[in-house]
Structure 1
Amino acid sequence: MKTIKLVALFFTLLFIMDDTISQAAGAVQIAYTVTFPEAQAHYADVEMNISGLQQNTLDLKMPVWTPGSYLVREFAKNVESFSATAKGKLLATPKINKNCWQINTTGLSSVTVKYRVYCFEISVRTSFIDASHAFISPTGIFLYPDKMLQSPSTVHIIPYQGWTKISTSLEPVNGNAFTRHAPNYDILFDSPIEVGNQDIFGFDAAGVKYEVCMVGGGNYDKERLKVDMAKIVEQETAVFGENPNKHYVFIVHNYARGGGGLEHLSSTTLGASRDSYGTEAGYHNFLSLVAHEHFHLWNVKRLRPIVLGPFNYDTENYTTDLWIAEGFTAYYQNIILRHANLTTPDGYLDAISNEINVIENQPGHLVQPLAESSFDAWIKAYRPNENSYNTTISYYDKGAAVGMLLDLEIINDSKGKYSLDDVMKYMYDTYYKTKKRGYTDAEFKQGFEKFAGKNLDDFYKKYITGLTPIDYNKYLGYAGYKIIDELADSNDPTLGVNIAASGKKIVTSVIRGTAAWIDGINVNDELVSIDGVPVTDATTMLTGKKVGDKITVNVLRDGLPLTLPVTLLRNNRLKYKVISLPDATAQQFAVRKKWLKL
């Protein structure tokens, strides 16, 4: 009884303490002002005014990662010139760990904090500033008071000279476009801000106002994009039965060569190549990126693994379910284009073929299970090395393939009544809308089983937690398709290395199980000659050679000459293509019709 009473007392005190902190947080007012006096040098100057304080100590933190990008990036490394004042006096601001500054606020109700942030990393997940524009990725710009993540705040932007426009999903305050309101920090950190002279256009779809902000120019056709992006929005909204936004923003950064995207609750940031819109391949690649990131507004931003929200911004947030959150989104990015008639059935099958080839030609798919790929994203996916190709598999690529398998399984087993769409809508309605929380791995498995009408333990054991090679023909066969290897009869030799594209022929990776792997060619070796013939071109260095030949490879390793005897092996690279079965049945055609919306 004594132990129980002590535990009860502890939790009572904890409740009182948390309630006091919550009341204090509720009374606190937080306002940021962001200026760019040295935009040309890539700086944002931030002033943070905090009032209504009731505690004796104020800890201000900078997130170490940004949701959607599973890597600790240590944003505090870019902060400098940190200071705090109150009542006209400079306060001590000791840094108590890598991302936290502590201020003694005894007797103080308000504090002004000033700091600068260096912003010169081009990506969809990091801030970048120069004289032409500012892209503010909030997790790397705005400090937050510890234990006050539910506090609202305002952000006032004072543009650099000549900048006239702002694009963000945060709502304006009193009609002032350059002053925005965030209801809490999860929303602030999930709302990137673009400031400059971007090209802005819009369209309406699924009852939502969409804004597209193009930065960096490009050969895009606005009118065509309005029509096709609206088709994507309508198709994706149909999966879930509702579009939860009133206003959504696409921030598109166009570079000489660009790519990638990062999802947010009511916006997304995309990277694109500014001159790629003029080709059909480039244009469809962009639409596929649009479809991927926009699908995330449901899948992961609302329907999410249970650990991904509320977020811990101080450390990693582990989940084994990124193969659903990202992999299924990668699956939908292509099937949505097919359903919207933005790609042909053959074009979609080609996309599937390419996806299968990526997986099956990566030795790591026989080393790393899909669930482990998700869990280890923090230390492997965003930190690849020269051996990652041999040891890992992408939860995007294999997750997309598994999404296809489950879609075909459900369509076939339900005789066309259900598809993966029904699972996604059920899970969205059940966990996001009704239970108002994320899902566990077991709960999503139950969702699959509900619509497949059978136990999926064996499927999970093989393809999620295990390393069983995927039986593509079983699942594609439901729709009257199969895969063939167009290189099955080839007998070309290969060393099994990748080489730097230009300059010296430096080995950048060695593929597991190949001649180079077995006979000891190493990464960073410089290939000098083969059988005395200088290596000048990676594509011709084995001209005249055949499988089984014993060759002499001369390399420079750490500047020293080395001769290696190598026995050439067959190039085992696969080139799969999805083709139709010649004798497909009526049932298979029915599955195909449902799957591809023919």
Structure 2
Amino acid sequence: MTKTLKLSYFLLLFHTFIFCNASAKIVNEDPKLNYTVSFENPESHYLEVTLNFDNIHAKKTTLSLPVWTPGYYLILETPRYIVDFEVVDENDKKISWKKNTKNSWVIENGAKTKFAVKYRVFANKKSVAESYVDANKAFLMPNTIFMHIENSINNPVTLTLYKNAKWSTISTGLKCIDKNNNTYFAENFDIFYDSPIYIGNQKTIDFENEGKTYSLGIATPQGLDDEKFVGDLKKIMSATTSIMQKIPYDHYSYIMMEAGGGGLEHWNSQAIFTKGSFDAKSKQEYTDFMNFVTHEYFHLYNVKAIRPIELGPFDYNKENYTTMLWVSEGFTVYYEYIIMMKAGLLDGKDALKYLSSSIKKYENEEGSRHMSLAQSSFDIWLNFFNNESNAKQTVISYYDKGPTIGLLLDLEIRNNTNNKKSLDDVMRFLYNEYYMKKKRGFTEAEFWSACEQTSQKSLDEIKTYVNTVNEIDYQKYLSYGGLQIDLTPISTAEKNDKFTKRNYNISELPNATKLQLEIRKSIFNF
């Protein structure tokens, strides 16, 4: 072969290589999912959705809609609210489709790589886990509205919102990539589904704290003292950072809606209902609300990052079971008090009253004799809103016994290490080892291993309190922190009760030792 032919041959191979690799790059490029939402008649509680597909290569495309919301352990049956589903190609010609399961739609797109899915959603549920639209506002929970390609939640997605003309403001933790057109971006559907959106005429306040930016959207700001409230939020966040030593976001959004019940944590936001105004009738009412805000904020660490291994990656099509929600929720109740005390917004003796109330709620219900803490976590899918007549006789809440175990575990660790270690060290270890380093949740065995390594002692007795209904030796653990508990029967308790109802009020232990006083001051600051 001559030098000229060799050169020509080389160039041919080179161009062929470049072309083939360019083609491969196009073929392997992620499908593009671009959503638009409009609100033509919001007073009817409907919103209109269009999903534009590009770069689809399968001849059949199956779309799935989640049936539950992370943090809200209840099957919601959201597919029932999807109506007028249709698929059209680039020329607006209809493409056939069929339902495969209650929450999946199979599209026969054939060789078409571009097409659009259109449907309407009935949104009339006033809930932190579901969507609601009326003439005044829209609260969108993306997982109740937007479908993903089956088994492909890692695809990036864009969302453009066409606000109703009566609405002026959008509050969300989603990343805005085009402010003029209200277009948002999520790098995958886990983030997309975990980013609620509130659209209306809410009051907004933007602020900074410790190098991070924040947005506060308040639907009913009557009685709000802007400076004090934002200042208290900053105290809460700084107190949390002092414990966890990391801030896992660049921007965080507070969404505070009108009067209602409940709240839900998200990766870079929280959405909560308020009492309909910020004109607190008492100091305790304000403290209760700030406890609530703190609880949802700490979930950013505990359950979003520090999580049982069963809670992510999620299966959005069915229940996700774990026996460890008493850590995710119960410890978060405990830490809302710890953080509020560190922030200077809660007195230590008042924190003991909250903890005493948790013990009383648990111990003075017959369910405490029938359901373990681990079982209450696993069976939450049956009991999330259990209003059956026998519920109090058979069920307990990890919101009550969970923070109690958190307190006992903290006291045990501090006592065993001369107050050099605490539950804080466990939480930081779980965060760094499993979330940051291993990029996953922890197993039950790994959780207890972390606790015992920190405590430098076996924790079999506390494990028994989690896994059984055995009677708890409160005084043993509380004495470690210079505390005592009132176990006298309640004078008004009915004589025919199957068990004795007691006061369970925690107070100071007289003649406490130096270590006991040191531990009490470290936790409760008195």
**TM-score normalised by structure 1 residue count:** 0.81
Letter in 2 for 1:36: F
Conservation of the 8 A alpha-carbon contact between 1:219 and 1:274: no
Of 240, 248, 265, which aligns to 2:252? 248
Of 349, 354, 358, which aligns to 1:351? 354
The alpha-carbon distance between structure 1 residues 327 and 371, as it changes in their structure 2 partners (threshold 3 A), is same
- Please show how residues 13-412 of structure 1 align to structure 2 within 5 Å: 26-86=29-89, 87-176=91-180, 178-255=182-259, 258-275=260-277, 277-278=279-280, 279-412=282-415
C-alpha separation in 2, matches of 1:98 and 1:175:
36
Secondary structure, aligned partner of 1:271: strand
Aligned residues: 500
C-alpha separation in 1, matches of 2:425 and 2:468:
26
C-alpha separation in 2, matches of 1:321 and 1:25:
39
Letter in 1 for 2:338: I
1:538 alignment partner in structure 2: none
Letter in 1 for 2:498: G
Of 442, 465, 470, which aligns to 1:463? 465
The alpha-carbon distance between structure 1 residues 224 and 109, as it changes in their structure 2 partners (threshold 3 A), is same
> What per-residue deviation string (whole Å, max 9, x for no partner) do you get for residues 396-431 of structure 1?
211111011111111111101011111000110000
The alpha-carbon distance between structure 1 residues 491 and 297, as it changes in their structure 2 partners (threshold 3 A), is closer
1:594 alignment partner in structure 2: 522
Conservation of the 8 A alpha-carbon contact between 2:370 and 2:395: yes
The alpha-carbon distance between structure 1 residues 491 and 302, as it changes in their structure 2 partners (threshold 3 A), is closer
Letter in 1 for 2:354: A
The alpha-carbon distance between structure 1 residues 88 and 254, as it changes in their structure 2 partners (threshold 3 A), is closer
- Please show how residues 507-526 of structure 1 align to structure 2 within 5 Å: 513=498
C-alpha separation in 2, matches of 1:355 and 1:492:
18
Q: Where is the strand percentage greater, Structure 1 or Structure 2? A: 1
Q: Which runs of 5+ in 2 are unaligned?
A: 1-24
C-alpha separation in 2, matches of 1:573 and 1:254:
38
The alpha-carbon distance between structure 1 residues 573 and 114, as it changes in their structure 2 partners (threshold 3 A), is same
The alpha-carbon distance between structure 1 residues 394 and 26, as it changes in their structure 2 partners (threshold 3 A), is farther
Conservation of the 8 A alpha-carbon contact between 1:276 and 1:282: no
C-alpha separation in 1, matches of 2:384 and 2:121:
27
The alpha-carbon distance between structure 1 residues 492 and 100, as it changes in their structure 2 partners (threshold 3 A), is closer
C-alpha separation in 1, matches of 2:75 and 2:384:
12
Secondary structure, aligned partner of 2:126: strand
Letter in 2 for 1:330: V
Letter in 1 for 2:471: P
C-alpha separation in 2, matches of 1:231 and 1:271:
21
Secondary structure, aligned partner of 2:274: strand
> What per-residue deviation string (whole Å, max 9, x for no partner) do you get for residues 549-597 of structure 1?
xxxxxxxxxxxxxxxxxxxxxxx44332111112111121011122224
CA displacement at 1:366 relative to structure 2: 1.4
What RMSD in Å do the two structures reach over aligned CA positions?
1.8
The alpha-carbon distance between structure 1 residues 212 and 124, as it changes in their structure 2 partners (threshold 3 A), is same
Secondary structure, aligned partner of 2:339: helix
CA displacement at 1:387 relative to structure 2: 1.1
> What per-residue deviation string (whole Å, max 9, x for no partner) do you get for residues 340-391 of structure 1?
1111122111111111111111211111111111111111233442211111
Conservation of the 8 A alpha-carbon contact between 1:166 and 1:177: no
The alpha-carbon distance between structure 1 residues 90 and 125, as it changes in their structure 2 partners (threshold 3 A), is same
C-alpha separation in 1, matches of 2:181 and 2:421:
45
> What per-residue deviation string (whole Å, max 9, x for no partner) do you get for residues 229-264 of structure 1?
111101111221110111001111121xx3321110
Instruction: Give the fraction of aligned pairs with identical amino acids, expressed as a percent.
Output: 38
C-alpha separation in 2, matches of 1:408 and 1:475:
6
Conservation of the 8 A alpha-carbon contact between 2:35 and 2:49: yes
Letter in 1 for 2:465: Y
1:584 alignment partner in structure 2: 512
2:7 alignment partner in structure 1: none
Letter in 2 for 1:464: V
Conservation of the 8 A alpha-carbon contact between 1:277 and 1:286: no
1:420 alignment partner in structure 2: 423
C-alpha separation in 2, matches of 1:320 and 1:124:
24
C-alpha separation in 2, matches of 1:25 and 1:314:
27
C-alpha separation in 2, matches of 1:493 and 1:439:
44
The alpha-carbon distance between structure 1 residues 371 and 385, as it changes in their structure 2 partners (threshold 3 A), is same
> What per-residue deviation string (whole Å, max 9, x for no partner) do you get for residues 494-513 of structure 1?
78xxxxxxxxxxxxxxxx73
C-alpha separation in 1, matches of 2:212 and 2:157:
25
C-alpha separation in 2, matches of 1:26 and 1:575:
64
Letter in 1 for 2:140: I
The alpha-carbon distance between structure 1 residues 23 and 470, as it changes in their structure 2 partners (threshold 3 A), is farther
Q: Where is the helix percentage greater, Structure 1 or Structure 2? A: 2
CA displacement at 1:483 relative to structure 2: 1.1
Q: Which runs of 5+ in 1 are unaligned?
A: 1-21, 496-511, 515-571
Conservation of the 8 A alpha-carbon contact between 2:220 and 2:277: no
Letter in 2 for 1:274: G
The alpha-carbon distance between structure 1 residues 493 and 68, as it changes in their structure 2 partners (threshold 3 A), is closer
Letter in 2 for 1:578: I
C-alpha separation in 2, matches of 1:31 and 1:80:
20
Indicate the larger mover: 263-272 or 376-385. Answer: 376-385
C-alpha separation in 2, matches of 1:422 and 1:85:
56
1:484 alignment partner in structure 2: 486
C-alpha separation in 2, matches of 1:264 and 1:241:
20
CA displacement at 1:468 relative to structure 2: 1.0
> What per-residue deviation string (whole Å, max 9, x for no partner) do you get for residues 188-240 of structure 1?
00000111111111332232212111113432322111111111101111221
Letter in 1 for 2:32: Q
